Structure 1
Amino acid sequence: MLKVTSYNMRKAVGTDRRRRPERTLEVLREIDADIVALQEADRRFGRREAVLTPHLLSEHSDYQAVPLSVRAHSMGWHGNVLLVRRDAQILDAEVIHLPALEPRGAVVADLRVGGRAVRVVGMHLDLSGLWRRRQAHAIMAHLDATARPLPTVLMGDLNEWWSAAGCLRDFGRCFTLAETGPSFHARRPVGKLDRIMVSSDVAIGDCGVHDSMAARTASDHLPIWAELRL
């Protein structure tokens, strides 16, 4: 089984309005996933520096960040970051440029974890339903254009409230949605804004929302997770 998680970490600013990256890493240690998709992992303005620095990752986690080499001080692309365990092999990685009125993007990586290859997409979609649908189509078009098909996992903050509408209906034509549950707002979760989706050659086992004391204060989103069989 492969365990994955998606987490809008809100630049490590918690519901107490304090920026504590170590608390974000504490939540990730509690989940203990093999692959992590983070959103809002970089600061929004200026040099858009990474909140989880390489030093913090090496000292306080077992993860490595999938390298993208887009900005000198950022870890990801428009705040999207993929983390994998240090013994995982990164076969390929790139950014996906998304149509948007404000800066939005997605990241995709081909990984080898436990001897099995898997393709993972991390995303943070627009607040506008029209632009979310355009972004969903851009991601699926990018995947369709890849020369080598692989079992695929899509994760992120989709900002879509209804599973039968908008971009989720578009994704649902090709991908299966994990029924993880509501993850927003962390203090009183009612919205299923964060999602995990898989291609037809991936089976979903247990899945859910990680609701711990640390998670309820580390961000305004709770992390979601799923156990998958390739």
Structure 2
Amino acid sequence: MPEAQSTHFKVASYNIRKAIGTDRVRNPVRVLNVLREIDADIVVLQEADRRFGRRESVLPPFLVERHSHYRAVPFDVQHDSMGWHGNAILVRSDIEVAHHDIVHIPYLEPRGVVTARLGIAGQEISVFGMHLDLSGLWRKRQARAITDLAEQAQSERPTLMMGDLNEWRTSGGCFNEFGKHFTVLDCGRSFHSRRPVAKLDRIMHCPRLRAVDCGVHESSLAAQASDHLPVWAEFRL
């Protein structure tokens, strides 16, 4: 019998700092141009909504439509927001959104997780997007809660977790929780974008996914668009 054809896709995680660049200018089109450079199929964003007031999205839908091939997964939490506590998921227009949800996690600062079940070339994967607490104790609690949910998901389909973990250490801490059942990719240093010194942004995957390549997206535009650089990874199902 012929071998089943594998599905190849690319993902990215990007803390866009509410579209405020290192020049202190808010420029959402610049962020979308960075995403165009990366050309991923699925993008998880952090700090995609304003922090106070109505917490509207810093990437208005008409700009996303005009300057990219993405659409936002609708979480239906707040009318003007793109995501939940600033976490959002963008998908290429030909990717099916089979299910989406928000996840409440233990927190010291207001935090949340977004998740979606996505169809790619006839196969489904689960994606979790997150931005963890500044407190190490709360990061571990959050990682434990997220991993429990992701473990349930990966029993049914391949599962990815992505986001800004706020973990300055390269081992221990929240990695002890995530590493029990998931592979934590070392994409490289992503913070600060002008002179990267820390690997705060991470992509993690279950054994049902094979990582082909990963890295940090470094360009002159990315160095200006946010204080974080995007991280990316390519997978085969």
Q: What TM-score bracket applies, with the shorter chain setting the length?
A: over 0.9
Offset of 1:136 from its aligned partner? 0.6
CA distance in 2, matches of 1:212, 1:68: 31
Runs of 4+ in 1 over 3 A off after TM superposition: 144-148
CA distance in 1, matches of 2:72, 2:155: 23
- The residue that corresponds to 1:88 in the other structure is 95
3-state SS of paired residue (2:174): helix
Unaligned runs of 5+ in 1: none
Percent identity between the two aligned chains? 59
CA distance in 1, matches of 2:102, 2:188: 28
Unaligned runs of 5+ in 2: 1-7
- The residue that corresponds to 1:72 in the other structure is 79
1:97 to 104, 113, 117: 104
TM-score under structure 2 length normalisation:
0.95
AA in 1 matched with 2:149 = H
- The residue that corresponds to 1:44 in the other structure is 51
1:167 aligns with 2:174: yes
CA distance in 2, matches of 1:146, 1:112: 14
1:195 aligns with 2:177: no
CA contact (8 A) 1:178 1:207 kept: yes
Offset of 1:164 from its aligned partner? 1.6
Offset of 1:163 from its aligned partner? 2.9
1:195-224 deviations in whole A, cap 9, x for unaligned? 000001111111100000100000000000
CA contact (8 A) 1:96 1:142 kept: no
2:156 to 149, 154, 158: 149
- The residue that corresponds to 2:3 in the other structure is none
CA RMSD of aligned residues (A): 1.1
Offset of 1:146 from its aligned partner? 4.9
CA contact (8 A) 2:150 2:159 kept: no
Offset of 1:118 from its aligned partner? 0.7
- The residue that corresponds to 1:19 in the other structure is 26
AA in 2 matched with 1:105 = G
AA in 2 matched with 1:163 = T
CA distance in 2, matches of 1:165, 1:75: 32
CA contact (8 A) 1:39 1:124 kept: yes
Number of aligned positions between the proteins: 230
CA contact (8 A) 1:194 1:224 kept: yes
1:121 aligns with 2:128: yes
AA in 2 matched with 1:128 = S
